[in-house]
Amino acid sequence: MRLRVAGAVLLSAAAYYVYLPLPSGVSEPWKLMLLDALFRSFMQASDVAHALGLCHRVHLLNRVVNWMEAIEAQPCAAVHVADSTLGGVATRVFQPQGGRRLRRGVIYFHGGGWALASGRMRSYDLLCRKMSEDLDAVIMSVDYRLAPEAVFPDQYHDALAASRAFLSPQVLQRFNIDPERVCVSGDSAGGNLAAAVAQELGSDDSVTVKFKLQALIYPVLQALDFHTASYQQNQAVPILYRPVMVRFWLQYLGADGSLEPLLLANNHSALDEPAISAETRSKLDWTTLLPRGHRKHFQPVLKEIGSPGVVGRVPALMDVRAAPLLAEQGILGRTPKAYVMTCEFDVLRDDGLMYARRLQDAGVTVTTDHYDDGFHGCMVFAFLPMMSSVGQRSMNGYIRWLDQNL
């Protein structure tokens, strides 16, 4: 009897910890709750280890992720897989087996807040294998340096160096990649890097081979407004909570973590911040850039008086290499045809939608792929053990678009 009571108590406690009120439209809510409970456990453990001075919270998280997810480069019947370097940056290469014909090529940057994850993770490995096989394409998944050891612009420089090498005649010839059929892509923080690389190389006249496409998966693109409609709507929706995204930004930019409350309140971008011009504010004005259906009932949080000087302490907040949404129209207009995936239950939804609108206004052909039941990170949960329905649909939609356009 006592064992039954103890079991019931433990089960109730576990259910209480796992249960989280979620929006009614989110895909497979119980799967997302279980995933979130796992993530929260790891993050809380890493916060404790950090507070005790045992290790940096990111180091513990990455150890857990690598222990659970990292796999060796194992070739299969359809795809040859090998770890290599690209422009001096560690890269996992996926190349279809057999034949010497020219193939399509994609360089891919993984997500993880510029601090976590790797192309060696099982989820990214499986994604790139499927892309390589379904598209008969060479996929190069880049392992750029991570925070806290590396901070902006290190990750950007790694992405740019790998991309320049990817487009070089030597690499294109070695891997039989068609120079007319190359794409830069990435998800979340990797989508940020892909967008920044597309801007830089699109405007560089010394680059002879240009990307034909840019494919951005729920990208993070700005750090001046943490109260867009999607940040307000989804601030407590897993797996990317609003405070976590702010923490990732501060780590990436090498800024003091004590600034987190200021950024969460939008004090860093108040009207008394002289470094932010009206023109800059217009580039992320979601009240004009978003359709009414996405703005809903939400109102901007724009402080008259804030904490002037934050931008001076963290100038990368205004650097287009870190925040591609702030780029000039002329720069955007020289980037390639674009695919932008967004998810309804994602704090970053509006970053992607605003960028798609600004690209269109600059004359770029854009396909927006929005998932009404999607959540942040869903595409990499297309495989077991999670095997999310929206993950599978979003992955298949992404690969289908590449197949039709690359």
- Rounded CA separation 269/162 (Å): 33
Q: Which of 78, 82, 81 is nearest to 98 (CA)?
A: 78
Active site residue 294: no
Evaluate whether 110 touches 70 at the Cβ level (below 8 Å). no
- Rounded CA separation 221/102 (Å): 34
Cα(first)–Cα(last) distance of the chain, in Å?
Answer: 65
- Rounded CA separation 264/367 (Å): 31
What φ, ψ does residue 325 adopt, rounded to 5°? -65, -20
Tokens of 167: 């487009």
What φ, ψ does residue 374 adopt, rounded to 5°? -85, 155
DSSP string, 267-318: GGG-TT-TTS-HHHHHTT-HHHHS-HHHHTT------SS--TTHHHH-GGGG
- Rounded CA separation 370/9 (Å): 41
- Rounded CA separation 158/86 (Å): 9
Locate tokens 């407004």: which residue?
A: 225
Tokens of 80: 């040859």
Evaluate whether 269 touches 306 at the Cβ level (below 8 Å). yes
Active-site position among 188, 307, 388, 394: 188
Active site residue 188: yes
Active-site position among 143, 346, 351, 369: 346
Locate tokens 């008394």: which residue?
A: 272
Locate tokens 């600004």: which residue?
A: 358
Beta strand 213-217 pairing with 366-375: unpaired
The single-letter DSSP state of residue 224 is S
Active-site position among 230, 376, 388, 394: 376
Active site residue 50: no
- Please identify every residue annotated as catalytic: 188, 346, 376
